[in-house]
Amino acid sequence: MKNEVNITTSSTEMMTISRAEYESLKAERDELNQKLDWLMEQVRLAKKKVYGTSSEQTKEELVGQLSFMFDETEAWLFTRRTAAGETRVATHPRQKRSSRVEEVLPENIPVEVVEHRVPESERNCPECGTLMTEIGTEVRRTLVMVPAQVKIREDVYFTYACQNCKQTGTETPILKAPKEPPLISGSYASPEAVAHIMVQKFVMYAPLYRQEQEWNRAGVMLSRQTMSNWVLRVAEDWLRPIYDHLHRQLLQREVLHADETTLQVLKLEGQTARSKCYMWLYRTGGDAEHPIVLYEYQQNRKAENAEAFLKGFTGWLHADGYSGYHRLPENIRVVGCWAHLRRKFDEAVNALPKEQQVGCTALEGLQYCNILSAIEKELTDLPPEERYIQRLAWSKPVMDALLAWASTNRAAPKSALGKALYYLREQWPYLKRFLEDGRLEISNNRAERSIKPFVMGRKNWLFANTEGGAQSSAIVYSLIETARENNLDPYRYLVHVFSKAPGLAVTDKNWAAKLLPENIPPECCITKK
């Protein structure tokens, strides 16, 4: 009968079921196979995450098996690279590190000369007994590290009086040495101590409890609570005004980047500890003469947080695929990130067994992204106007071909390849926007690099105790990372700010502008050989 199906079991017996039952079992089997494929993908991706390399560079053995899709583009890239004098080799050339101390150390490091002489009583010639004379020297140079030293500084302010007026009975004039306002009123905190604590935590990722141990070993019983209070007070009094000034400058730029990451805050008013508060990041683009990097703490990831922070901004905003950015006002045009798309195709390749990776569909999508990245690398040094023209000539045809290729390929929605294809189609209006202005970048890697210091620090100090601490961390991170972007040494910059701010604030309402990274003296810059 047409509505019946004969099935052979493991034995020689025959079993007859209805067509409907057969189709149901077949659909169930197909669903289970899809789930199995998805689970195996997750296992392979998890194994790569734990045991594999973090590099996303496409494997040469895979690329070699896949024909290049754009011969003209390949020829153009080869021409530009060879014209620039680049030598194409099969393996990545590694520069040999020098072991000579004069090639490693900056020229301005102080040199301590220690002379080793033979005592005169031991310099008699073994042959004739005559006193031997100096005929030469042999120099050995070594690097010496002196541990930090703790000292107490006493500022003594003298008072002067006119003795003649005192003797004649007239009113005696009093003269006092000018006194600089303290960093924290009634505290023994110095600019150097607070700057050291901040750099240790926010640059070297040392939690306050570790710093407490360091101070104790130096003989100073400085508690983590005291250090925390210093950081909170100084950040609010002297760093926030500079932060606010930088914020106003940021909104005047035309090209920005944004990103966000999670942060756990233990003590929230009226709430339990939350593991998903957020630290947002906003920064200037590659065209900025004076880069600005700003962090902002918020309890959630709602789009209105970005809208409020960017109020008054009109221009381009590089971001990842988070939909919250797409709900921003029309005057903010979001630019998508090709690095995120490439990462998804790379995951789709690694989700397959090794024997299936060569020539797979995901590898084709990955190669399209590689071509675009290679083009961008060659256009890096061009002015924005010329970069815009070259992108239309070389990048746009590759993007058009990628979109056409994606429309002809399908994959299970929950599979790694399916997610990559979905991301491509959904984000296409934002991914193609980098073609509209030569100042724009192909990825949001600039923001991801800037937020990485916070992510690294979070792995060490794990959480913020209070919202006030989270807000202070955002301010301190902002000033430190902005300083680093402007080639300033964070410690020297903070010492300069803390030394000058209390005095300037007394006489100048616009004191914060004078302490912006762009106005800092050269001695605070990072020395490069």
State pLDDT tens for residues 151-188: 999 999 999 988 888 788 778 788 899 888 999 999 99
> Does the pLDDT value for residue 142 go beyond 60?
yes
What is the CB neighbour count within 10 angstroms for residue 129?
Answer: 7
55 found inside a domain: no
325 with 451, same domain: the answer is: yes
Domain that holds residue 311: 204-336+444-529
Task: Select from 303, 308, 278 the least CA-distant residue to 464.
Answer: 278
Tell me the average pLDDT across 377-391: 94
Q: What residues have CB less than 8 Å from 434, skipping those under 6 apart?
A: 335, 336, 338, 391, 440, 441, 442
CA atoms of 202 and 260, how far apart (whole Å): 17
> Does the pLDDT value for residue 420 go beyond 80?
yes
253 with 401, same domain: the answer is: no
> Does the pLDDT value for residue 421 go beyond 90?
yes
405 with 450, same domain: the answer is: no
Digit-coded pLDDT (tens) for 205-243: 999 999 999 999 989 999 999 999 999 999 999 999 999
| Reported confidence tier of residue 3, pLDDT bands at 50, 70, 90 | low
65 found inside a domain: no
508 with 469, same domain: the answer is: yes
> Does the pLDDT value for residue 87 go beyond 60?
no
How many CA atoms within 13 Å lie on the side-chain side of 38?
Answer: 13
313 with 382, same domain: the answer is: no
Digit-coded pLDDT (tens) for 467-483: 999 999 999 999 999 99
CA atoms of 237 and 241, how far apart (whole Å): 8
Q: Choose the weakest-confidence range: 9-23, 210-224, 249-263, 301-315.
A: 9-23
CA atoms of 170 and 175, how far apart (whole Å): 16
Domain end point (choices 437, 466, 496): 437
364 with 283, same domain: the answer is: no
| Reported confidence tier of residue 127, pLDDT bands at 50, 70, 90 | confident
406 found inside a domain: yes
The residue ranking higher by pLDDT, 473 or 148, is: 473
> Does the pLDDT value for residue 82 go beyond 50?
yes
211 found inside a domain: yes
Domain end point (choices 416, 437, 458): 437
418 found inside a domain: yes
Quote the pLDDT of residue 89. Answer: 44
Tell me the average pLDDT across 405-420: 89
| Reported confidence tier of residue 353, pLDDT bands at 50, 70, 90 | confident
427 with 504, same domain: the answer is: no
Count of domains in the chain?
Answer: 2
The residue ranking higher by pLDDT, 464 or 43, is: 464
Digit-coded pLDDT (tens) for 484-528: 999 999 999 999 999 999 999 999 999 999 999 999 999 999 876
- H/E segment holding residue 250: helix 240-251
Q: What is the largest CA-CA distance in the chain?
A: 135
The residue ranking higher by pLDDT, 4 or 269, is: 269
| Tokens 């042999």 found at | 138
378 found inside a domain: yes
296 with 256, same domain: the answer is: yes
> Does the pLDDT value for residue 338 go beyond 70?
yes
457 found inside a domain: yes
328 with 467, same domain: the answer is: yes
235 with 325, same domain: the answer is: yes
Task: Select from 313, 289, 197, 227 the least CA-distant residue to 516.
Answer: 289
Quote the pLDDT of residue 92. Answer: 47
60 found inside a domain: no
| Reported confidence tier of residue 30, pLDDT bands at 50, 70, 90 | confident
- H/E segment holding residue 176: strand 174-176
Domain end point (choices 413, 437, 461): 437
What mean pLDDT is reported for the chain?
86
Cα-only R_g, the chain: 33
| pTM of full prediction above 0.75 | yes
Quote the pLDDT of residue 105. Answer: 66
266 with 317, same domain: the answer is: yes
> Does the pLDDT value for residue 1 go beyond 60?
no
213 with 310, same domain: the answer is: yes
Tell me the average pLDDT across 297-317: 96
Quote the pLDDT of residue 58. Answer: 67
